[in-house]
Amino acid sequence: MACPFDEDPIDEGAALIRRELICRRQRILRPRIDVLSHSDSFLYERYRFTSQSITYIHDLVHPHISNITRRSLALTSQQLLCVALRFLANGSFLYNVGEAEHISRATVSRAVRRVCLALKRLLPNFVHFPGNKPIESIKEEFHRIAGFPNVIGCIDGTQIPIKAPSHNEADYVNRHSIHSINVQIICDAGCLISNVEAKWPGSVHDSKIFQESNLRNRLQGGEFDGYLLGDRGYPCQPWLLTPYPDPEPGPQQNFNRAHCKTRARVDKTIGLLKARFQCLHYLRVTPERARDIIAACVVLHNIAIIRGEQHPALHMEDFDDEPLHLPANQDGREVRDAVCKDHFSV
């Protein structure tokens, strides 16, 4: 007769391990709520878009982000989009977004990556200079702001902070000793972004970015009839007008006032972009991924403007304080003086 204490302890231990493994394999899947069933105010607060706009964006990116199968209850393309929008809108840590959306941190990371790459592909469709309106309409809208003639865009740079990169770290340190990417933005009078350059390290000056841009060559070649307005961080050129550094009373002061009021539209545009997508206040990613996120945010910003989405509350704060003053070239001075004489002498 076998003794009850003669059971093999090794077999007992193996059985316990098997039972524990079986328990671990039992995944607990929390229910996923239909996001678009919520009110538009709820959606805007969390995703920065109403249900109709989320559907519109989904139709654009669906071919590029949808999973081939629903194996292991993979997220639908709409769920992937909403996860990415939530991250872009609030700029929180990935695990915070994951907890809010009932998914893992890794799933959030993959969703953000896929959606941003899909949106980046749409950049030529939604961001093109001088804008999505006839050039004369763009000039008229700028003229209504402060009477400045022939303006086709306002230009400025803005710093997007990032975590310190592992390669060429010093290149990304800007004049405020913060690691960043310097992003060139050009907008129209309606705060639609018509040009973006998001590839330069934070140490590179605004004027250098414009000097090396393809748009500068197109303007210099006479492709567009009109002016950009920039601050004194840019050299005054025939196609890029800057304010007088020491304006004399009368026409020059009138010129500067109109210039300042009109050029403020790009400051507002940058403010709206960063207020709408809080992630742009600090990106905890590599420079390469930061560029993709910035491009995606610009596309989404333009979609929001085109579709008349609500503007977020503006907090006009930026790293860009007093710019480096660059001298005007001779041709730029002559064009500026002609505009000043013809339009601001009264």
Give the residue, 143 or 326, on which the prediction is more confident: 143
Q: Is 44 helix (H, G, I), strand (E, B) or coil?
A: helix
Predicted confidence at residue 324, as pLDDT, reads: 59
| CA angle (95, 97, 99) in 5-degree steps | 70
Label the pairing between strands 151-161 and 180-187. Answer: antiparallel
Q: Which residues pair with 158 in a beta bridge?
A: 183
pLDDT grade, residue 257 (50/70/90)?
Answer: very high
pLDDT digits (tens, 9 = 90+) for 278-336: 999 999 999 999 999 999 999 999 999 999 999 998 765 554 544 556 666 788 999 99
| CA angle (70, 54, 64) in 5-degree steps | 45
pLDDT digits (tens, 9 = 90+) for 189-220: 999 999 999 999 999 999 999 999 999 999 99
Percent of the chain with pLDDT over 90: 75
Average of pLDDT values for 254-273?
A: 97
Predicted confidence at residue 32, as pLDDT, reads: 57
Predicted confidence at residue 71, as pLDDT, reads: 54
pLDDT grade, residue 4 (50/70/90)?
Answer: very low
pTM, entire model: 0.87
Provide the edge-to-edge strand list for the sheet that holds 227-229: 193-201, 180-187, 151-161, 227-229, 240-241
Predicted confidence at residue 37, as pLDDT, reads: 81
pLDDT digits (tens, 9 = 90+) for 25-61: 454 445 556 788 889 999 999 999 999 999 999 999 9
- C-beta of residue 189 within 8 angstroms of C-beta of residue 141: yes
